[in-house]
Amino acid sequence: MFFDPLYFIFVGPAMLAAMYANSRVKSAFARWHQVGNGRRLTGEQVALALIKSSGLRAVTLTSAPPDNDHYDPRDRSLALSPAVGNAASVAAMAVAAHEIGHALQDSEAFAPLRMRTALVPVSNYGSQIGTYMLFGGMLLAGFGGGSLGLPVAWLGLGLFALGSVVSLVTLPVEFDASRRALAVLASSGLIANEEERAGVQAVLNAAALTYVAAAGAAIATVAYYGFRLMRLYGRRD
Protein backbone atom coordinates (compact mmCIF):
# COMPACT_ATOMS: atom_id res chain seq x y z
CA MET A 1 0.00 0.00 0.00
CA PHE A 2 2.81 2.37 0.81
CA PHE A 3 4.84 1.43 -2.30
CA ASP A 4 2.00 0.98 -4.77
CA PRO A 5 3.24 1.76 -8.31
CA LEU A 6 -0.29 2.85 -9.18
CA TYR A 7 0.16 5.82 -6.87
CA PHE A 8 2.92 7.17 -9.06
CA ILE A 9 0.88 6.45 -12.19
CA PHE A 10 -2.00 8.51 -10.82
CA VAL A 11 -0.16 11.19 -8.88
CA GLY A 12 3.31 11.19 -10.47
CA PRO A 13 2.43 13.48 -13.41
CA ALA A 14 0.77 15.95 -11.05
CA MET A 15 3.84 15.90 -8.78
CA LEU A 16 6.09 16.64 -11.75
CA ALA A 17 3.76 19.44 -12.81
CA ALA A 18 3.91 20.90 -9.30
CA MET A 19 7.70 20.78 -9.32
CA TYR A 20 7.75 22.53 -12.69
CA ALA A 21 5.28 25.17 -11.51
CA ASN A 22 7.30 25.87 -8.36
CA SER A 23 10.49 26.24 -10.38
CA ARG A 24 8.72 28.60 -12.77
CA VAL A 25 7.42 30.86 -10.03
CA LYS A 26 10.80 30.95 -8.27
CA SER A 27 12.55 31.72 -11.54
CA ALA A 28 10.09 34.45 -12.52
CA PHE A 29 10.18 36.07 -9.09
CA ALA A 30 14.00 35.92 -8.94
CA ARG A 31 14.34 37.46 -12.39
CA TRP A 32 11.90 40.31 -11.87
CA HIS A 33 12.99 40.86 -8.29
CA GLN A 34 16.26 42.11 -9.76
CA VAL A 35 14.45 44.66 -11.93
CA GLY A 36 13.39 47.85 -10.18
CA ASN A 37 10.00 49.31 -11.02
CA GLY A 38 9.95 52.69 -12.71
CA ARG A 39 8.08 54.41 -9.88
CA ARG A 40 10.66 53.18 -7.35
CA LEU A 41 7.92 52.09 -4.99
CA THR A 42 8.30 49.22 -2.56
CA GLY A 43 5.64 46.54 -2.41
CA GLU A 44 4.28 48.17 0.73
CA GLN A 45 4.07 51.56 -0.99
CA VAL A 46 2.36 49.98 -3.98
CA ALA A 47 -0.19 48.34 -1.69
CA LEU A 48 -0.84 51.58 0.19
CA ALA A 49 -1.25 53.51 -3.06
CA LEU A 50 -3.70 50.95 -4.43
CA ILE A 51 -5.61 50.78 -1.15
CA LYS A 52 -6.09 54.54 -1.36
CA SER A 53 -6.91 54.72 -5.07
CA SER A 54 -9.35 51.81 -4.83
CA GLY A 55 -11.14 53.15 -1.77
CA LEU A 56 -10.31 50.12 0.37
CA ARG A 57 -10.40 52.07 3.63
CA ALA A 58 -11.10 49.04 5.81
CA VAL A 59 -8.00 47.17 4.63
CA THR A 60 -5.00 47.21 6.97
CA LEU A 61 -1.43 46.43 5.98
CA THR A 62 0.65 44.05 8.10
CA SER A 63 3.86 42.05 7.80
CA ALA A 64 4.09 38.36 6.93
CA PRO A 65 6.76 35.65 7.20
CA PRO A 66 8.79 34.90 4.05
CA ASP A 67 6.75 33.47 1.16
CA ASN A 68 3.49 33.98 3.01
CA ASP A 69 2.04 37.07 1.35
CA HIS A 70 -1.74 36.93 1.62
CA TYR A 71 -5.01 38.77 2.12
CA ASP A 72 -7.25 37.62 4.97
CA PRO A 73 -10.93 38.48 4.39
CA ARG A 74 -11.77 37.65 8.00
CA ASP A 75 -10.13 40.80 9.34
CA ARG A 76 -9.40 42.52 6.00
CA SER A 77 -5.67 42.47 6.58
CA LEU A 78 -3.13 42.40 3.76
CA ALA A 79 0.17 40.84 4.83
CA LEU A 80 3.39 41.26 2.87
CA SER A 81 6.68 39.47 3.45
CA PRO A 82 9.94 41.47 3.70
CA ALA A 83 10.99 40.37 0.19
CA VAL A 84 7.84 42.00 -1.16
CA GLY A 85 7.03 44.80 1.25
CA ASN A 86 10.55 46.23 1.40
CA ALA A 87 11.57 45.78 -2.24
CA ALA A 88 11.01 48.28 -5.06
CA SER A 89 11.02 45.61 -7.75
CA VAL A 90 8.65 44.60 -10.52
CA ALA A 91 8.09 41.26 -8.78
CA ALA A 92 7.19 42.96 -5.49
CA MET A 93 4.76 45.22 -7.34
CA ALA A 94 3.10 42.18 -8.93
CA VAL A 95 2.67 40.30 -5.65
CA ALA A 96 1.37 43.36 -3.79
CA ALA A 97 -1.11 44.12 -6.55
CA HIS A 98 -2.28 40.50 -6.59
CA GLU A 99 -3.15 40.70 -2.90
CA ILE A 100 -4.95 43.97 -3.57
CA GLY A 101 -6.91 42.00 -6.15
CA HIS A 102 -8.14 39.75 -3.35
CA ALA A 103 -9.08 42.79 -1.28
CA LEU A 104 -11.11 44.10 -4.22
CA GLN A 105 -12.84 40.74 -4.50
CA ASP A 106 -13.73 40.92 -0.83
CA SER A 107 -15.08 44.46 -1.15
CA GLU A 108 -17.35 43.32 -4.00
CA ALA A 109 -18.44 40.09 -2.28
CA PHE A 110 -16.89 38.00 -5.06
CA ALA A 111 -18.75 34.69 -4.81
CA PRO A 112 -15.81 32.29 -5.35
CA LEU A 113 -13.78 34.08 -2.66
CA ARG A 114 -16.65 33.84 -0.19
CA MET A 115 -17.10 30.18 -1.05
CA ARG A 116 -13.42 29.45 -0.52
CA THR A 117 -13.37 31.35 2.77
CA ALA A 118 -16.33 29.31 4.00
CA LEU A 119 -14.93 25.99 2.76
CA VAL A 120 -11.36 26.27 4.07
CA PRO A 121 -12.06 25.61 7.79
CA VAL A 122 -14.53 22.84 6.92
CA SER A 123 -12.02 21.34 4.50
CA ASN A 124 -9.16 21.46 6.99
CA TYR A 125 -11.17 19.65 9.64
CA GLY A 126 -12.83 17.27 7.21
CA SER A 127 -9.57 16.32 5.51
CA GLN A 128 -7.95 15.44 8.84
CA ILE A 129 -10.86 13.28 9.96
CA GLY A 130 -11.27 11.87 6.46
CA THR A 131 -7.65 10.74 6.29
CA TYR A 132 -8.03 8.65 9.45
CA MET A 133 -11.33 7.22 8.25
CA LEU A 134 -9.95 6.43 4.79
CA PHE A 135 -6.86 4.58 5.97
CA GLY A 136 -8.65 2.99 8.91
CA GLY A 137 -11.43 1.75 6.66
CA MET A 138 -9.00 0.42 4.05
CA LEU A 139 -7.03 -1.37 6.75
CA LEU A 140 -10.18 -2.91 8.18
CA ALA A 141 -11.35 -3.97 4.72
CA GLY A 142 -7.93 -5.50 4.02
CA PHE A 143 -8.33 -7.74 7.06
CA GLY A 144 -11.69 -9.00 5.92
CA GLY A 145 -13.98 -6.43 7.48
CA GLY A 146 -15.16 -4.98 4.18
CA SER A 147 -18.81 -4.70 5.20
CA LEU A 148 -17.81 -2.03 7.71
CA GLY A 149 -14.42 -0.91 6.46
CA LEU A 150 -15.40 0.05 2.92
CA PRO A 151 -18.31 2.34 3.87
CA VAL A 152 -16.06 4.03 6.43
CA ALA A 153 -13.30 4.39 3.84
CA TRP A 154 -15.66 5.84 1.22
CA LEU A 155 -17.00 8.35 3.72
CA GLY A 156 -13.43 9.22 4.66
CA LEU A 157 -12.54 9.72 1.01
CA GLY A 158 -15.51 12.05 0.63
CA LEU A 159 -14.29 14.17 3.54
CA PHE A 160 -10.72 14.03 2.26
CA ALA A 161 -11.94 15.19 -1.16
CA LEU A 162 -13.06 18.50 0.34
CA GLY A 163 -9.47 19.63 -0.13
CA SER A 164 -9.84 19.05 -3.87
CA VAL A 165 -13.00 21.13 -3.90
CA VAL A 166 -11.14 23.99 -2.23
CA SER A 167 -8.32 23.66 -4.78
CA LEU A 168 -10.82 23.92 -7.63
CA VAL A 169 -12.63 26.90 -6.11
CA THR A 170 -9.24 28.55 -5.60
CA LEU A 171 -8.57 28.66 -9.35
CA PRO A 172 -11.16 31.32 -10.31
CA VAL A 173 -10.25 33.26 -7.16
CA GLU A 174 -6.57 33.43 -8.07
CA PHE A 175 -7.07 34.00 -11.79
CA ASP A 176 -9.48 36.84 -11.11
CA ALA A 177 -7.15 38.41 -8.53
CA SER A 178 -4.33 38.45 -11.09
CA ARG A 179 -6.64 40.01 -13.68
CA ARG A 180 -7.63 42.68 -11.19
CA ALA A 181 -3.97 43.25 -10.28
CA LEU A 182 -3.03 44.12 -13.84
CA ALA A 183 -6.09 46.30 -14.28
CA VAL A 184 -5.61 48.28 -11.08
CA LEU A 185 -1.90 48.80 -11.73
CA ALA A 186 -2.68 50.10 -15.21
CA SER A 187 -5.53 52.36 -14.11
CA SER A 188 -3.48 53.84 -11.27
CA GLY A 189 -0.54 54.59 -13.54
CA LEU A 190 1.92 52.57 -11.46
CA ILE A 191 3.14 50.51 -14.43
CA ALA A 192 5.74 52.71 -16.08
CA ASN A 193 6.19 50.90 -19.39
CA GLU A 194 5.50 47.74 -21.39
CA GLU A 195 8.55 45.96 -19.97
CA GLU A 196 7.14 46.34 -16.47
CA ARG A 197 3.75 45.13 -17.65
CA ALA A 198 5.39 42.06 -19.17
CA GLY A 199 7.27 41.43 -15.93
CA VAL A 200 4.16 41.72 -13.79
CA GLN A 201 2.33 39.40 -16.17
CA ALA A 202 5.18 36.86 -16.06
CA VAL A 203 5.16 36.74 -12.25
CA LEU A 204 1.38 36.43 -12.08
CA ASN A 205 1.24 33.74 -14.78
CA ALA A 206 3.94 31.69 -13.06
CA ALA A 207 2.09 31.90 -9.75
CA ALA A 208 -1.13 30.77 -11.44
CA LEU A 209 0.58 27.57 -12.57
CA THR A 210 1.17 26.56 -8.96
CA TYR A 211 -2.57 26.68 -8.23
CA VAL A 212 -3.36 24.63 -11.33
CA ALA A 213 -0.73 22.06 -10.35
CA ALA A 214 -2.03 21.91 -6.77
CA ALA A 215 -5.58 21.29 -8.00
CA GLY A 216 -4.35 18.58 -10.35
CA ALA A 217 -2.41 16.86 -7.57
CA ALA A 218 -5.40 16.97 -5.23
CA ILE A 219 -7.75 15.49 -7.83
CA ALA A 220 -5.23 12.82 -8.82
CA THR A 221 -4.80 11.77 -5.18
CA VAL A 222 -8.56 11.43 -4.69
CA ALA A 223 -8.80 9.46 -7.95
CA TYR A 224 -6.06 7.09 -6.82
CA TYR A 225 -7.70 6.28 -3.50
CA GLY A 226 -11.07 5.96 -5.21
CA PHE A 227 -9.53 3.41 -7.57
CA ARG A 228 -8.01 1.53 -4.62
CA LEU A 229 -11.39 1.38 -2.90
CA MET A 230 -13.09 0.09 -6.03
CA ARG A 231 -10.48 -2.67 -6.23
CA LEU A 232 -11.13 -3.59 -2.61
CA TYR A 233 -14.87 -3.62 -3.31
CA GLY A 234 -14.27 -5.93 -6.29
CA ARG A 235 -12.27 -8.34 -4.16
CA ARG A 236 -15.02 -8.45 -1.56
CA ASP A 237 -17.53 -9.44 -4.24
Give the model confidence (pLDDT) of 25-69 as tens digits.
Answer: 999 999 999 999 999 999 999 999 999 999 999 999 999 999 999
Give the model confidence (pLDDT) of 114-124 as tens digits.
Answer: 999 999 999 99
Domain boundaries, the chain: 5-236
Q: What's the confidence (pLDDT) of residue 1? A: 47
The average pLDDT across 192-214 equals 96
The average pLDDT across 204-222 equals 96
Residues that are catalytic: 99
Query: Considering the entire predicted model, what is its pTM?
Result: 0.90
Q: Cα–Cα distance between 127 and 74 in angstroms, integer?
A: 22
Q: What's the confidence (pLDDT) of residue 50? A: 98
Examine the pLDDT at 126 and tell me if it is beyond 80.
yes
Give the model confidence (pLDDT) of 171-200 as tens digits.
Answer: 999 999 999 999 999 999 999 999 999 999
Q: Cα–Cα distance between 187 and 139 in angstroms, integer?
A: 58
Give the model confidence (pLDDT) of 65-116 as tens digits.
Answer: 999 999 999 999 999 999 999 999 999 999 999 999 999 999 999 999 999 9
Examine the pLDDT at 231 and tell me if it is beyond 60.
yes
Give the model confidence (pLDDT) of 142-175 as tens digits.
Answer: 776 667 888 999 999 999 999 999 999 999 999 9
The average pLDDT across 131-138 equals 93
Q: What's the confidence (pLDDT) of residue 236? A: 56
Is the distance from CB of 205 to CB of 175 less than 8 angstroms? no
The b-or-e profile of 185-220 (16+ CB within 10 A means b, else e) is beebebbeeeebeebbebbbebbbbbbbbbbbbbbb
Q: What's the confidence (pLDDT) of residue 142? A: 75
Count CB neighbours of 170 within 10 A. 21
141: pLDDT confidence band, cut at 50, 70 and 90?
confident
Q: What's the confidence (pLDDT) of residue 29? A: 97
Q: What's the confidence (pLDDT) of residue 140? A: 87
